[in-house]
Structure formats: C-alpha cells, structure tokens
Amino acid sequence: MPKNMLFVQGNEACALGAMYAGLDFYAGYPITPSTEIAETLAVKLPAAGKTFIQMEDEISSMCAIIGASLTGNKVMTATSGPGFSLMQESLGYAVMAEIPCVIVNVQRGGPSTGNPTHVSQGDVNQARWGTHGDHSIVALTASNHQDVFRMTVEAFNIAETYRTPVILLFDETVGHMREKLIVPKDGSIPLVQRLRTRVKEGVNYHPYLPREDGRLPMSDFGGSHRFNVTGLYHDMWGFPTDKPEVVQELLKHLIDKIENNAHKITFNRSYYLEDARTVLISYGSAARSALSAVEQLRKRGQRIGLLELNTIWPFPTQLVRESTRNANLIGVVEMNVGQLTQAVKLAVGKPKKVNLINRVDCQMITDKDIKQILRVLQGRGV
C-alpha cells in the first residue's frame, strides 16, 4: 500500500489537510464529536515545530487563534455545537477586524447539549448568522474524506486571500467515519500564502486600505508597522470611528469582498444532472445517501441527478439556479428542519418545486428514507 494511502477518520483527514495547508497554530477545547482533530494536532504540530495549545474554553480558543494570526501565522480551532455557540462573538471580531482564521464545527444534534454523539446538520444557519450584526461569511463542507482534506486546504486559502474567518461545517458522521484518504502530493493543491505589505518601515502603512483588487496586504505584529486592531468600526488606519460614511463603507466592503467573489469560492460536485428532471441538492454526509438513492433510481430509469454543495455560504445561487433549470422536482436532502431548503427556494425561479427531504432524529438519513419521501413527492404512492 502506498505510504500516502490512509484509512482514517474524517476528523483526522481534516487535521492532515490543515497540516498540508501550513497550519502554524491551533488552540482548542475538548468537545464531542470534534476532539480527534485536537488529538491529532497535539501530536503533529509540536513534531513539526509548530504550536498547539489547549485553552480553558472555546471562547479563549477562538481569541487565541486571532492573536496568533496577527503575528503572521496560519491558525485554526475546532469544536462542535455548544462550543461553536461560544465562539460566535469572537468569530464576529475576526469578521470585523479581517483576521484570517479557520473554524471547524463538526455538527452534532442540538439545540443545547442535544445529542453529542450523533449526527445533525442543524448549525447551517448559525454558521451564516450566528454572530450579531450584518456580515458575510464563508462556510465549506464535505461528504467524504478526500473532500474533507481538500476543503480544509481551500478554507486556509480563502481565509488568507480575503482576510476572513472561514467555517468548515462538517458533521458527526463524516467526522467519525473511517474511510480511505489519499494524501495529495506536496504542491498538487496550490497554497495561498499571506499577502504582506511592501510598504517600507517609516512609510505610512494603512492596514485597512484595500488595494484595487480588494485585497488588504497585512503586516505582522512585531514587524515594521505598528497599527491598531479593533472590533469597533474603524478607518483605514484601524482607528475607531463612528462617521456614518466610514461605517457604511466598511460594512459594504466586508460583505462585498465575499459576495462579489462567490463564484471564485464555490466548490461542488454534480452527478447525472445533464438530463435530470428530478434534482436532489445535498451536502455533508447526507449527500452520500442522496447519491446512493440517485444511482439506484437511475438504474430503474428515472432521470434523477444530484448537486452536492461543498460551499454552503456564500450560497451558490447561480449554480443552483442553472443546475435546476430543467427540473420538475427539486429535493433538498439535509438533516435539519430545512435550513438550506430556504436558501434554495430563494435561488430558484419556482420555489413551489422545492421540497425538503429530511430526518431530524439525529440518525443518518438513508437512501431508503430518501426514496420513500421521493415516491410521495413524485405522486407514486407511499
């Protein structure tokens, strides 16, 4: 067996993807079902001369990675439901202060303590709107370990490119499931390194003045330029301001830098969509069952296909609209009460075609579940 072929948990695939991406600093707090990410990195990071710290809670974990990002490092934390709730305030800080960082949320059943050891996709809208105030956010997901690895690397690339927090929204099934992972060769996935300013020492550097392409070159704490970082609305120097025009411009910048580049950060897989009249849309572990159902129904002659989303936020409106143009029936397969179904309804021309195919008992939705619900939706009886 080749050395780069592994049989691992999804959480390990995530940790390995982070190492591949150049993770320098991890801070975290134990929580099921994401703990294996911390356990893997507690071995790997010190052995690579990099930094691992277990903090006193999820709040401080998120704060610590922001501090470490400012000294010039690629940083990550990982958690699950309750911990993700605790991170929301500092996640908003990273949005406002434009700090590159990656936050993994391996979803479990909620609300509250919920069902720690079982699967759910109930944090989809929390990822979008969990922190207070208007903002935009990037959230990626995956249904298999190859994609977990790949999306983890892309999360770091997006964080560095757009100076933004990026959420990896995995789920318990993918996190704990073991399957094959082929670790890509070094260099086969391009890595984005931090864009640093070329402004020389002694010359004015504006940490919050976007270049023409919208990117903001950074300067490390401890480096040549001293500047202020704050969660308050601020001007191009990083100084607090409540001037209405500056406030509005900053908010617009924070949203536009993500939404205007949505097409560049949209990742997806499509299966049998060419002639599909029934289109399933799914993501995460639910997409595995959806693909299985699609392949079985294909064998019976149904014109059915699957659009698997890897980018959830910003919602890939264009992609969803184009992929469902010829569909008579759209089924959104997810393990929540329809959190992404709402976004799909907004994206497509005829929202009445959009149906939720779900399961919310913290058990994996199966291909059989999906086929049963489809029969009802297609008017073929129960």
Binding positions for other proteins, rule: CB under 8 A:
24-25, 27, 46-49, 51, 53, 55-57, 59-60, 63-73, 75, 89-90, 93, 220-224, 226-232, 237, 239-240
Question: Residue 162 in 3-state DSSP?
Answer: helix
Structure tokens at 134: 């208007």
Q: How far is the CB of 9 from other proteins (least distance, A)?
A: 22
d(CA 124, CA 130): 9
- Whose CA is closest to 121, among 232, 237, 327, 282? 282
Say what the alpha-carbon torsion angle 194, 195, 197, 198 is, to the nearest 10 degrees.
Answer: 110
- Pick 226 or 264: Cβ nearer other proteins: 226
Residues paired with 276 in a beta bridge: none
Q: How far is the CB of 86 from other proteins (least distance, A)?
A: 11
Q: How far is the CB of 56 from other proteins (least distance, A)?
A: 4
- Pick 67 or 184: Cβ nearer other proteins: 67
Q: How far is the CB of 226 from other proteins (least distance, A)?
A: 5
Q: How far is the CB of 77 from other proteins (least distance, A)?
A: 10
d(CA 188, CA 186): 6
- Whose CA is closest to 158, among 136, 139, 133, 176? 139
Whether the Cβ atoms of residue 277 and residue 252 lie closer than 8 Å to each other? no
Q: How far is the CB of 376 from other proteins (least distance, A)?
A: 49
- Pick 20 or 26: Cβ nearer other proteins: 26
Q: How far is the CB of 222 from other proteins (least distance, A)?
A: 5
- Pick 111 or 240: Cβ nearer other proteins: 240
- Pick 230 or 248: Cβ nearer other proteins: 230
- Pick 178 or 243: Cβ nearer other proteins: 243
- Pick 221 or 271: Cβ nearer other proteins: 221
Task: For Cα atoms 343, 128, 364, give the angle at the middle one, nearest 5 degrees.
Answer: 70
Q: What are phi and psi of 203, to 5 degrees?
A: -100, 145
Q: How far is the CB of 120 from other proteins (least distance, A)?
A: 28
279, HSE (Cβ side, Cα atoms, 13 Å)? 26
- Whose CA is closest to 155, among 92, 88, 195, 105? 105
323 burial level (CB within 10 Å; 0-12, 13-18, 19+): buried
Q: How far is the CB of 27 from other proteins (least distance, A)?
A: 7
d(CA 337, CA 70): 38
- Pick 18 or 286: Cβ nearer other proteins: 18
For helices 88-97 and 58-70, angle between their N-to-C axes, nearest 10 degrees: 20
Please identify which residue in the block is written with the tokens 């303590």: 113
Q: How far is the CB of 94 from other proteins (least distance, A)?
A: 11
- Pick 71 or 328: Cβ nearer other proteins: 71
Sign of torsion over alpha carbons 243, 244, 245, 248? positive
- Pick 6 or 97: Cβ nearer other proteins: 97
1 burial level (CB within 10 Å; 0-12, 13-18, 19+): exposed
d(CA 70, CA 318): 35
